[in-house]
Amino acid sequence: MEKLNPDLLLQRIKEANGWFVDGNSIKKVFKTKGFPQTAGMVTVISAICQQFDHHPDYILMKYSELEVSFSTHSAGGITDKDIEIALEINKFV
């Protein structure tokens, strides 16, 4: 899988509501009502990642906030796989 070129990346990231490019990764910050909702969101995102066999660079969990970051290490940056998982996560959280 190849890294997205900058023009295509800008076009694709617009499809992924709330996600943004940060260097060689895409990220999104989710706000929740509190710790139980945040923990539940981690579980949902983890299940989606297992389905896609594509796992985040990190999930930063706070009391009522969650930050998720994706990149494709084998490609050295952001690929369609990262955008596709972001779109899938948006459907469920």
Provide the 3-class DSSP secondary structure of residue 75.
coil
Q: Which CA distances in Å does 71 have to 32, 35, 50?
A: 24, 26, 15
- Which domains, ranges and CATH numbers included, belong to the chain? 6-92 (3.30.1360.20)
Strand pairing category for 58-61 and 65-70: antiparallel
User: Can you give the pLDDT at residue 93?
Assistant: 86
pLDDT tens digits, one per residue of 3-39: 999 999 999 999 999 999 999 999 999 999 999 999 9
User: Can you give the pLDDT at residue 1?
Assistant: 85
